[in-house]
Amino acid sequence: MTLAVLTVRNLSDEVHRALRVRAALRGRSIEAEVRSILEETVLPEGRATLGTLLTAIGRRAGLTDGEFAGFAQRDIAPARPINLE
């Protein structure tokens, strides 16, 4: 797993104070609190995955289990580049 470093510039004093208070209330450092906020925002619990969404669409379209099984049979041949000429 690669760890990234993020620098946030021009953060207002008001936001910094609010982060400090929020972190203190949760017993965390400001850095840990910001990390938690980012994770909760971009990786919310219960988010639907692409497969789940496609399955729901297929069910609404009335596809059978057999038709769904056909999607599992992938073509493993390398993709051919398109010709734009």
- The residues spanned by each domain of the chain are 13-42, 46-75
Buried/exposed code over 48-72 (b: 16+ C-beta within 10 A; e: otherwise)? eeeeeeeeeeeeeeeeeeeeeeeee
| pTM over cut 0.75 | no
Query: In the chain, helix, strand, coil percent, each to 5?
Result: 55, 0, 45
Q: Is residue 73 scored above 70 in pLDDT?
A: yes
* pLDDT tens-digit series, residues 8-55: 999 999 999 999 999 999 999 999 999 999 988 887 677 777 777 887
